[in-house]
Structure 1
Amino acid sequence: MPYTDHALDVPEQTAVAAAAASAPSVLNAQPWLFATGPDAVEVRADPLRAPTGTASAERDVYLSCGAALFTVRAALARLGREVRVSVLPEARDPLLVARVAVTGDGGDPAAAALYRWVGERRTNRHPFRPEPVPAGVFTLLRGAAEREGATLRRLDAEPEYQRVLTLIRRASLTEDDAVREDRAARLTAGTPAVPVENLGPVPRREGRDGDTAVRDLAPGLGLPGRGTAAFEPHPELAVLETPQDSPASWIAAGQALQRLLLEATGHGVAASFANQPLEDADLRADVSSSAAHFGHPQMVLRLGYPLTRPPAAPRRPQHEVLRRVGR
């Protein structure tokens, strides 16, 4: 069959896969694979890449792949392509997260506009400025999540804010030793999943108020070059939630996450994640217990205006994640 005018050539396929591989993922594990051809891009899960030992391990893989999926959509829109997205299209192949078929010329202008921020987005584990994100900007972020079927709930009132912050602290203190050991092994390997420059400084402890939502991914490892820093005393927190809690919902949450993160980047807002209580099944239920009508919590975000812009985190070599199909 002859190619249509909107078929993807090899450089375009490469560009789409490279953009998708820049998406955020749990511990920068990048648990995905891509298959590209002239008429479609497939996103597949690569669960062997993901950290293990937490109640959220499977969910985190699908969330990460969902973030990559939205980036595929944005990249194709930037190339002027209309697409049809099929999520979990083959029941017998749950690792096939999505197939994005190229159906014509055009593309989603809103997704295309967000593509410019793909290379600028960072997970920022450094201190933020103390001022809150303005209500108008947060409304845009919430709207971005809603376009993907999720809710971004701002924790801006007591006692809910302090309750979730307490759950974050509790989860950090009660984390299983095996989970810490697995993460430490990844961070101290020859090519760490998260380099020191991206870990951010060790949070300076100054009593209860010093136990912020900022997650120290390498407690006690003494990695050179980190230093210590005082973080914002009242971190801005938001919870990303979905009505259901299934693999399809996790993929939707990942798409919502990447969409809102790109929107945030365009407005100078950075984010890191405080998902500690979501990695514990009991504490995850507690995160949503007072707001069950919003749905199931998928991510806890710390938002703010950065003082430091970290470098881009390293990516897997393209030959490991990209397979070409078709002629």
Structure 2
Amino acid sequence: MPVHAIDEKTVTALVEDAAAAPSMHNAQPWEFRFLRDDGTFHVRADLDRAMPRTDPATRALHLGCAAALFNLRVAAAHAGWTPVTELLPDPSDPRLLAVVRLTGQAPAEDDLAPLHPAIRRRHTSRQPFSDEVVPDAIKDGLSAAALLEGARLAFPDMWHIQTLLDSVRDAEGRDAHDPAAVEELRHWVRVGTQERGTAGDGVPDYAFGPLKRYGGAPVRDFAGRQPLPGRETVVFESAPQLAVLGTRDDRPRDWLVAGQAMERVLLQATLDGLATSLTSQALEWPEVRWITRDPESAMGFVQMVMRLGYGPSGPATPRRPVDEVLTID
């Protein structure tokens, strides 16, 4: 199929898949522009959806946009294209995060297309997971998935996990006493039938999950101090299974690498039958983020803490209409 034969319906479908990616507080801070003449997508950062208090360097924003970029690559490969990607192609335009050029037919050995069924099945789960241990073979496959994107995924030992959990609790306490952080979180929370029914972004109350009574699972409570009628209180897993995703350096290009690796791992985990959630609280405070790193690891910077296990998948969360995030020229 020649590039110029890509019609608007196909372009829209590709972006719908891309926009199913996770992002901090489901802010969906991305924009897509498709150029018909050369069959390229421009993936841009929407800085109007940045979070100055929680994400002042826009690291998390880059991770979310990169996850959407990875979904776009997967969707393009599934549709029969080879997506050729260039990160940060224009130093004078830092909001232009990537250019994806669709060329030819996808090679038979393509490893992206098989991930496509997981795009719409992957949802963040804030539910308790069972204590069933994830097999080493699956962990090895997830680590290999991260390596394919140029990042590293490690499964910490119990000592490091406890350090991570302590860091998350420290960050939670800081957030609770930081009015700016509380207000920023409140901006992205959708509570009540009317608010969640009209919102195309943010975290709706039905996705908060139950209130944690006991257990060590690092799950952000989006309700804060606001009581929700009918919300149950349950026991979470006592020994959460965590993975840390990291990169050698900590620059915008590394964040884009990490975000793509994060999404590849999440999609592969979904195909493997795992439930997943992301934990970033401890990475939002620079002085706390540093101690999330394992000093015995070659990983320079932790970009995301991932919780994996066997349990219910989370519900789908709202998505912005495609015409809000896509321009076709």
Question: Does the alignment reach a TM-score above 0.5?
Answer: yes
State the match for 1:300 in structure 2.
305
Q: How big is the shift at 1:7? A: 4.2
Q: How big is the shift at 1:229? A: 1.4
Q: Structure 2 CA distance, aligned partners of 1:74 and 1:151?
A: 20
CA deviation profile, 1:33-83 (whole Å, cap 9, x unmatched)? 111233111111112113330256500110001000111100110011112
Partner residue of 1:258 out of 231, 251, 263: 263
Q: How big is the shift at 1:243? A: 0.9
1:93 aligns with 2:93: yes
Cα 1:315/1:57, change in 2 over 3 Å: farther
Q: How big is the shift at 1:232? A: 0.5
Q: How big is the shift at 1:188? A: 4.2
Taking only aligned residues, the RMSD between alpha carbons, in angstroms, comes to 1.8
State the match for 1:186 in structure 2.
188
Farther-moved stretch of structure 1 (262-271 vs 181-190): 181-190
State the match for 1:53 in structure 2.
53
- Residue identity opposite 1:70 in structure 2: F
SS of match in other structure, 1:141: helix
1:314 aligns with 2:318: yes
Work out whether residues 6 and 105 of structure 1, in 8 Å CA contact, stay in contact via their aligned partners in 2: no
SS of match in other structure, 1:110: coil
Work out whether residues 241 and 297 of structure 1, in 8 Å CA contact, stay in contact via their aligned partners in 2: yes
Farther-moved stretch of structure 1 (163-172 vs 92-101): 163-172
Q: How big is the shift at 1:292? A: 5.3
Work out whether residues 123 and 314 of structure 2, in 8 Å CA contact, stay in contact via their aligned partners in 1: yes
**Alignment size in residue pairs:** 317
Q: How big is the shift at 1:310? A: 2.8
Where in structure 2 are the equivalents of 1:56-71 lying within 5 Å? 58-71=58-71
State TM-score, norm by structure 1.
0.92
Q: How big is the shift at 1:149? A: 0.5
- Residue identity opposite 1:187 in structure 2: V
Farther-moved stretch of structure 1 (173-182 vs 258-267): 173-182
Q: Structure 2 CA distance, aligned partners of 1:7 and 1:64?
A: 30
Q: Structure 1 CA distance, aligned partners of 2:158 and 2:167?
A: 14
Cα 1:228/1:104, change in 2 over 3 Å: same
1:10 aligns with 2:12: no
Q: Structure 2 CA distance, aligned partners of 1:158 and 1:309?
A: 25
Q: How big is the shift at 1:5? A: 5.5
- Runs of at least 4 residues of structure 1 off by over 6 A? none
Unaligned ranges ≥5, structure 1: none
State the match for 1:41 in structure 2.
41
Q: How big is the shift at 1:181? A: 1.9
Q: Structure 2 CA distance, aligned partners of 1:56 and 1:270?
A: 29
State the match for 1:124 in structure 2.
125
1:229 aligns with 2:234: yes
Work out whether residues 29 and 61 of structure 2, in 8 Å CA contact, stay in contact via their aligned partners in 1: yes
SS of match in other structure, 1:66: helix
Work out whether residues 7 and 102 of structure 1, in 8 Å CA contact, stay in contact via their aligned partners in 2: no
Q: How big is the shift at 1:16? A: 0.6
Q: Structure 2 CA distance, aligned partners of 1:179 and 1:170?
A: 14
Q: Structure 1 CA distance, aligned partners of 2:31 and 2:228?
A: 31
Q: How big is the shift at 1:184? A: 1.7
Q: Structure 2 CA distance, aligned partners of 1:245 and 1:305?
A: 32
Q: Structure 1 CA distance, aligned partners of 2:131 and 2:294?
A: 29
SS of match in other structure, 2:298: helix
CA deviation profile, 1:94-140 (whole Å, cap 9, x unmatched)? 11110101121225621000011111000111111111211111111
Cα 1:279/1:263, change in 2 over 3 Å: same
State TM-score, norm by structure 2.
0.91
